[in-house]
Amino acid sequence: MKTTYREALREAIRDAMRRDDRVFLMGEDVGSYGGCYAVSLGLLEEFGPERVRDTPLSESAFVGAGIGAALNGMRPIVEIMTVNFSLLALDQILNNAATLLHMSGGQFAVPVVIRMTTGAGRQLAAQHSHSLEGWYAHIPGLRVLAPATLEDARGMVWPALCDPDPVLIFEHNGLYNLAGELADDAGPVDITRAAVRRPGRDVTLITYGGSLTKTLAAADDLAAGGIEAEVVDLRTLRPLDSDTVLECVRKTHRAVVVDEGWRSGGLSAEIAARIGEEALYDLDAPVRRVCSAEVPIPYARHLEEAALPQTASIAAAAREVVRGG
């Protein structure tokens, strides 16, 4: 069937709510408005106000309420409008959701799912264009997911709700209008493994989320010049599936990491370090990284595009790695 990324997410939430009466959705404008990105459109009419709950504009309060509900046997899906607003709930996420299972000696799991929009590219300026999923991937006790395809948008929510740990799902704002075919029987997917989205022999391109489409386009560009790039979609940022990444790098002997987050102290640095630690002698060239410029994301369209990883910059980095090898 023909669908979009936002519709796949909506169907995932609907499916979870039909599967389990304990599942409910809460967040700012998720009810009658249908969600800031129209993901929850129609769910209030189908499930009612007890299971689709509009919240006050207080991220710390409603994320805390979601954690409390999870501790008491419910399966909440908490929607935070954008990742920058999650900073207002950082204490709840880091000090409560991520730690309570450990601090209780395994007695109290926190099976809450927190969804939020991430990324730049829509001229929302410096305060609403963050890519902070790498921050959250730093925190033990969390599972961090980044669905980049229609299949993953449709299939990650239910497995996330079944996880006893808190799960954060980062939805790139540039993907909501992504359209394509989705199998009628599409359902839950594996949230533990990375996926090879394109096989190749010359260089491994490692990415996730909103950068996947650009990276696949770069691989097409490279193929026109005789370079066959393998594309790995991380999908799960914590815990990282190092085995798949290393297997691909050992095959191609070269790696480029594409990350919309900032370069310094970012997720790309962690991936490059793991490759260096585990596969140094399999490399024919140093690992390259393509990241956002070390600046607050600009508002002006041409400056925003210049600050972000783009298909051309990804392809150029891959060519340099292959030629340097």
218 and 281 belong to one structural domain: yes
Q: What is the pLDDT of residues 142-163, one digit of tens each?
A: 999 999 999 999 999 999 999 9
Q: Would you place residue 231 in the very low, low, confident or very high pLDDT band (cuts 50, 70, 90)?
A: very high
For residue 50, indicate whether it is catalytic.
Answer: no
The residue assigned the tokens 């704002």 is: 173
Which of 122-126, 233-237, 251-255, 287-291 is predicted least confidently? 122-126
Angle between helix axes 212-224 and 311-324 (nearest 10 degrees) is 50
Pairwise CA distance, residues 133 & 136, whole Å:
5
170 and 202 belong to one structural domain: no
**Total count of domains within the chain:** 2
159 and 205 belong to one structural domain: no
Mind giving me the DSSP string for 50-103?
A: TTEEE--S-HHHHHHHHHHHHHTT-EEEEEESSHHHHGGGHHIIIIIITTHHHH
Q: What mean pLDDT do residues 200-220 have?
A: 98
Q: What mean pLDDT do residues 231-241 have?
A: 98
What HEC string does 135-191 produce?
HHCCCCCCEEECCCCHHHHHHCHHHHHHCCCCEEEEEEHHHCCCEEECCCCCCCCCC
221 and 163 belong to one structural domain: no
Q: Would you place residue 192 in the very low, low, confident or very high pLDDT band (cuts 50, 70, 90)?
A: very high
Q: Would you place residue 135 in the very low, low, confident or very high pLDDT band (cuts 50, 70, 90)?
A: very high
Pairwise CA distance, residues 168 & 191, whole Å:
12
CB 175 within 8 A of CB 146: no
104 and 170 belong to one structural domain: yes
Asked whether residue 189 is assigned to any structural domain, the reply reads: no
- Six token digits for residue 156: 């990650």
Q: What percent of the chain has pLDDT over 70?
A: 100
The C-alpha torsion from 306 through 264 and 221 to 8, rounded to 10°, is -90
Pairwise CA distance, residues 322 & 325, whole Å:
5
Find the helix or strand (DSSP H, E) in which 226 lies: none
Q: Which residue out of 28, 59, 133, 171 is catalytically annotated?
A: 59
Q: According to the model, what pLDDT value does residue 23 have?
A: 98
Residue 226, domain extent: 195-324
What integer best gives the mean pLDDT of the chain? Answer: 97
Q: According to the model, what pLDDT value does residue 324 have?
A: 79
Q: What mean pLDDT do residues 247-262 have?
A: 98
166 and 286 belong to one structural domain: no
24 and 58 belong to one structural domain: yes
28 and 62 belong to one structural domain: yes
Asked whether residue 218 is assigned to any structural domain, the reply reads: yes
Q: According to the model, what pLDDT value does residue 283 have?
A: 97
Q: What mean pLDDT do residues 84-101 have?
A: 97
- Does pTM surpass 0.85? yes
Q: Which residues of 273-304 are buried (b: 16+ CB within 10 A; e: fewer)?
A: ebbeeebeeebebbbbbbbbeeeebbeeeeeb
Q: What mean pLDDT do residues 88-99 have?
A: 98
Is the pLDDT confidence value at 198 over 80?
A: yes
Q: Which residue out of 7, 128, 130, 171 is catalytically annotated?
A: 128
Is the pLDDT confidence value at 325 over 80?
A: no
Q: According to the model, what pLDDT value does residue 232 have?
A: 98
For residue 59, indicate whether it is catalytic.
Answer: yes
205 and 119 belong to one structural domain: no
Q: According to the model, what pLDDT value does residue 246 have?
A: 98
Which of 25-29, 121-125, 250-254 is predicted least confidently? 121-125
Domain of 220, CATH number, reads 3.40.50.920
Find the helix or strand (DSSP H, E) in which 24 lies: strand 23-27
Asked whether residue 162 is assigned to any structural domain, the reply reads: yes
